[in-house]
């Protein structure tokens, strides 16, 4: 079976947590990697799978990812996946964010096959006063989980 053509679109800021995870996933998937401002959404129809990666800021994806999703053309039936990094490790919090982003993706016709959340170093807002949280993340375990996630994505394509 031929390898599907995969693209990953991401936005990463501050400590480049999301970019670190994106590069692991892209390497395993042998996918194309672009930041939001590098991509014309109309070329997405050339791909079979679209991955979206974003940091989470005050319970929302990066503003550039929000804009990217808003401006996506309708992409009926394309498979997709989502990965996020955030300072919060609370599962209920992460699940509520996934639900919102996945809903937006599905409204654009994307078929979301899986999601991954990874802890990231966070010095945003009030955490800066504390010297940050999740120092050392993403760590080796996080990178390994990103590799497993990419393997899982490949196994369902």
Q: 95 φ, ψ to 5°?
A: -60, -40
What is the rounded distance in angstroms from the CA atom of residue 25 to the CA atom of residue 115?
12
What is the number of other CB atoms lying within 10 angstroms of the CB of residue 27?
13
**Domain locations in the chain?**
6-156
Q: How many angstroms separate the CA atoms of 98 and 73, rounded? A: 21
pLDDT greater than 60 at residue 19? yes
Residue 1: per-residue pLDDT: 58
CA 126 – CA 113 distance, rounded (Å)? 34
d(CA 52, CA 87): 18
Query: Region 136-147: what's the mean pLDDT?
Result: 89
On average, the pLDDT of the chain sits at 88
Say whether pLDDT at 133 is over 60: no
The Cα 43–Cα 21 span in angstroms is: 23
132 pLDDT above the threshold of 70: no
Question: β-strands 49-57, 60-61: how paired?
Answer: antiparallel
Bigger pLDDT: 17 vs 125? 17
Which of 16-25, 69-78, 108-117, 132-141 shows the lowest per-residue confidence on average (mean pLDDT)? 132-141
Which tens digits make up the pLDDT trace of 57-91?
878 899 999 999 999 999 998 999 999 998 776 67
CATH assignment of 6-156, among 3.20.20.80, 3.40.50.360, 3.40.50.11310, 3.10.450.350:
3.40.50.360
Predicted confidence at residue 3, as pLDDT, reads: 80
pLDDT at 111 over 80: yes
pLDDT band at 14 (very low <50, low <70, confident <90, very high): confident
- Alpha helix locations (H) across 30-139? 63-71, 91-107
Write the burial class of residue 97 (CB in 10 Å: 0-12 exposed, 13-18 middle, 19+ buried).
buried
Residue 114 has pLDDT above 80, yes or no: yes
Nearest to 46, CA basis, from 83, 7, 102: 7
Euclidean distance between CA atoms 156 and 38, whole angstroms? 28
């Amino acid at each position: 079976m031929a390898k599907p053509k995969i693209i990953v679109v991401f936005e990463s800021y501050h400590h480049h947590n999301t970019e670190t995870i994106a590069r692991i996933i892209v390497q395993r998937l042998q996918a194309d990697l672009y930041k939001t401002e590098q991509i014309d959404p109309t070329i997405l129809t050339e791909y079979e799978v679209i991955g979206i990666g974003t940091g989470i800021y005050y319970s929302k994806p990066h503003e550039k990812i929000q804009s990217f999703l808003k401006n996506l053309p309708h992409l009926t039936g394309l498979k997709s996946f989502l990965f996020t990094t955030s300072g919060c490790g609370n599962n209920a919090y992460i699940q509520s964010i996934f639900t919102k982003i996945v809903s937006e993706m599905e409204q654009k016709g994307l078929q979301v096959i899986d999601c991954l959340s990874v802890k990231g170093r966070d010095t945003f807002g009030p955490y800066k006063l504390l010297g940050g949280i999740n120092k050392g993340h993403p760590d080796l375990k996080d990178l390994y989980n990103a590799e497993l996630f990419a393997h899982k994505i490949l196994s369902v394509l």
